Amino acid sequence: MDRFLFLTLDGLSRGAVYAAFALALVLIWRAGRIVNFAQGAMAVAAAYVAYSVTAATGSYWLGFGAALLAGLLLGAVVDVAVMRLVDHRSPLNPVIVALGLVLLIQAVLGMVYGNEYLPARAPFSRTALTVGGTAVLSPYDLFVFATVGVVGAALVWIFTRTAIGLRMRAAAFAPEVSRLLGVNVGGMLTLGWALASGVGALAAMLVIPTGLGLHPYAMDLVFVSAFTAAVLGGLDSPPGAVVGGLGVGLLLSYVSGYAGGDLIPLAVLALLLTVLLLRPGGLFAPVTARRV
Amino acid sequence: MSATRAAASVRAAAVDPARRGRSLPTVVRHLVVAAGVALLVLMVSYQLDSFRNFQLATVAAYLCATAGLTVLTGLCGQLSLGHGALMATGAYTLALVQNAFAERGLTAGGLLVVSLVVAALATVVVGAVVGVAAARLRGPYLAGLTLAVAVVVPALTVTFDGVFNGEQGLAVPVAPAPAGLGSYFPHERWQLWVATVATLLCLVLLANLVRSRYGRSFRAVRDDEVAARLAGIHVARTQVVAFVISAGSAGLGGALLAVLAQSVSPGAFGLTLSLFLLMAVVIGGLGRLAGAAWGAFLLVALPDLTHSLTNLFTLSPAAAQRLEGNLPLAIFGSTLIAVMIAAPGGVQGLLSRLVRALRARWPAGRS
């Protein structure tokens, strides 16, 4: 029972990160009908910026801020310099270009930093605190929950309570009408990319200290898991992404706890296959589901 | 069927003035071209040194996979990031079958044909499973699912390491070149011959398929699913067929790679291989078998080129190693982005445009 409780809490903490990353995917999907397959590579690039800044200044938090800033900037640059130039008539094109970005970003990171695992520092202890003899959450888990919670709340606030959020929603929902009403649709799309990439960078900062360390390919499996989470919740639904992320986190925690960590990719594939075959619109799909 | 074929060749003759007067059936024409290529490779194999022969054989192995992928992605409009995993299926099946033969003391060279066929068939089965799931999916969903398939390969080999021997992989016993060719016959030349014959057979089948009723259904499904359905095409079945055929080619390609390397390990079939295959067909020109050939050639030539490029500079060993491992990826990635934005037809598209421009300048009648 203790083990189950521990795995559940660990899974929720892991799931919070997947939720954040899935949220980043959903943001871009809603803004431009693109699944950003380069999200993982872009997030790793931001994490490497944090590594450099932390190494130069000795401060974790300066690095953390630098990663978020780098994430925002990278998202905007990718949209303006690459994605906007792509012919969007075939849905394959943006996917292929994003995969090209994956190769390019990972190769550049490998050239600059090398393909070895670099140590990634966690700002808080990762040893679980015990309550009444049972190991529960570590301070780091609490930090993860708090950060993802704050980011989620901030996104909700931006999209529902601010003028710029309204413009972003309008630009995604009805680009032509919004343009007539004076909304800078292209700018809103770029802003959406920047926000999503920033959230992705944050997720990478949270997840990398829990794994083997910093590596150009560190986010590949996280990306697949987060994509599964986003599909589980329905690619169109931000609350769905959060629920999907927590669900995937729980599943993977149980699988690695009871069956072995090597089975994680298999479990992700099985879950993704099941969701796509049984309920391709996701758990939270509206009635007029999008054909996938 | 012969009426359809005749109609197709009439259309081809009408479209392409260079083909005028050629009324050979498609199959015969493809076989003639294949025989010509085989003869060319035979002559070239005696001119090149062993290493170049081996590289050319690798091109042939990759060509199987890229040709299959270009049929799937270019003709049928389905994106697969899982072809590296399908190649792994073929490679591991070949390794297991060859090892089973060796254990029973069967070492005849001709058994390699059996192993190659079994490898392709096993991949066809795996492809059918993935394809049935994939037929219900579009665009990013399909890409995500096949991406998950690609990520699973290393995990599978580690989980079932009793069969696949984990990270280390399996050795592939391959019989040496037949004694009739002489005792000093280089092994690499024999490898090139084997790979070329297998690849040409695969290509002839694919080329005929592209020009057949199935090829036309693929293109119809790619361009407009609703219209295709109205025309009486079973869309889901067509997509599964495309996936299965493509998987079979990829499996054969993977099996050939295993024969060439004489070993298989999960490291060679990671996600990067899947991405490389996709890059190759896009840069070569999506949907054209000639484009797949350009792509396969690039896959082998580019790492070689960057190797000689990095040798030009005097670098510290560590920096040279970093550059050598990553420069091909960087070049591939940036070329891919540039091609998608500037020249979506790829190399083959540019070539056809060049040929058309030259024809317009010097019409056939005057030259």
User: What's the pLDDT tens digit per position in B109-122?
Assistant: 788 899 999 999 99
| pLDDT tens per residue, range B61-83 | 999 999 999 999 989 888 899 99
Tell me the shortest Cα–Cα distance from A133 to chain B, in angstroms. Answer: 34
Substitution target from B83, B152, B219 for chain A, most A beta carbons within 10 A: B152
Q: A110-139: per-residue pLDDT in tens? A: 999 988 888 888 888 888 777 777 777 888
Structure tokens at B304: 């070689």
Whether the pLDDT of residue A39 is over 80: the answer is yes
Q: Token pair of A116, please?
A: 């070895």
Q: Among A73-77, A273-277, B19-23, B131-135, where is mean pLDDT lowest?
A: B19-23
Residues 6+ apart with CB under 8 A from A19: A148, A152, A229, A241, A242, A243, A244, A245, A246, A249
Find the CB nearest B329 among A106, A221, A272: A106
Mean pLDDT of B145-174: 86
Q: How far is B212 from chain A (nearest CA, A)?
A: 25
The residues in A 93-112 lying below 8 A from B, measured between CB atoms, are 93, 95-97, 99-108, 110-111
Among the ranges given (A68-82, A188-202, B121-135), the one the predictor scored with the smallest mean pLDDT: B121-135
User: How much of chain A exceeds pLDDT 90, in percent?
Assistant: 55
**Least confident segment among A49-53, A120-124, A229-233:** A120-124
State the Cα–Cα distance between residues A265 and B266, nearest whole angstrom: 14
Interface residue B79 vs chain A (CB under 8 A): yes
CB contact, 8 Å: B277 with chain A?
A: no
Contact B325 A110 (CB under 8 A): yes
> What is the average per-residue pLDDT within A52-63?
92
Q: Which member of B138, B159, B333 has the closest CB to residue A104?
A: B333
Packing angle, helices B139-159 and B271-284, rounded to 10: 140
One DSSP character per residue, B47-95 reads HS-HHHHHHHHHHHHHHHHHHHHHIIIIIT----S-HHHHHHHHHHHHH
Task: Answer whether B155's CB lies under 8 Å from A263's CB.
Answer: yes
> How is B270-282 classified by DSSP, letter by letter?
SHHHHHHHHHHHH
Is B326 an interface residue toward A (CB < 8 Å)? yes
pLDDT, mean of residues B234-251: 93
Is this model's pTM higher than 0.95 or not? no
Judge whether B31 is closer than 8 Å to chain A, CB to CB. Answer: no
Fill in the DSSP letter of residue A118.
B
B263 beta partners: B171
**Which of A103, A220, A290 has the highest number of chain B CBs within 10 A, making it the mutation to test binding with B?**
A103
Which two three-digit tokens encode residue A281? Answer: 């619109």
Nearest-CB residue to B341 (from A37, A86, A107): A86
Identify each DSSP E strand in B131-247 by its residue range.
170-171
Distance between CA atoms of residues B301 and A185, nearest Å:
43
B27 at the A interface (CB within 8 A)? no
User: Between chains, do B326 and A115 touch, taking CB under 8 Å as contact?
Assistant: yes
Looking at per-residue pLDDT, the higher value among B313 and B334 belongs to B334
* Token output for B4: 């359809």
Rounded Cα distance between B256 and B123, Å, is 13
The pLDDT value recorded for residue B343 is 82
pLDDT of B5 strictly over 50:
no
Provide, rounded to the nearest whole percent, the portion of chain B with pLDDT above 70. Answer: 92
* B317 bridge partner residues: none
Question: Which of A:21-60 have CB within 8 Å of B?
Answer: 34-35, 37
Partner A contacted by B20 (CB < 8 A)? no
Least confident stretch, A67-81, A222-236, A239-253, A275-289: A275-289
- The complex's ipTM? 0.87
A236-278 per-position pLDDT tens digit: 888 899 999 999 999 999 999 898 888 888 999 999 988 888 8
Q: What does pLDDT average to over chain A? A: 89
Q: Are residues A108 and B323, on separate chains, in Cβ contact within 8 Å?
A: no
Sign of CA dihedral A93, B151, B287, B78: negative
Angle B273-A39-A269 from CA coordinates, rounded to 5°: 60
**Which residue of B133, B332, B334 is in closest CB contact with A276?**
B133
CA distance B36 to chain A (A): 35
- pLDDT at A285 (0 to 100): 63
Closest CB from B148, B271, B330 relative to A107: B330
User: From the CA of B358, how many Å to the nearest CA of chain A?
Assistant: 28
C-alpha span between A212 and A233 (Å, rounded): 28
Kindly determine whether residue B158 and residue A265, on different chains, have CB atoms separated by under 8 Å.
no
Categorize the per-residue pLDDT at B20 as very low, low, confident or very high, splitting at 50, 70 and 90: very low
Which of 203-232 (B) contact A at CB < 8 A?
none
| Maximum C-alpha span of chain A | 64
Interface-testing mutation among B79, B136, B306, B329, with chain A (most A C-beta atoms within 10 A): B329
Cβ distance of B340 and A96 shorter than 8 Å: yes
Chain A from 235 to 254: CB within 8 A of any B CB: 235
pLDDT confidence band for B364 (50 / 70 / 90): low
Average pLDDT, chain B: 85
- In B213-304, DSSP assigns E strands to 263-264
Helix (H) or strand (E) holding B349: helix B346-361
Predicted confidence band of residue A281 (pLDDT cuts 50, 70, 90): confident
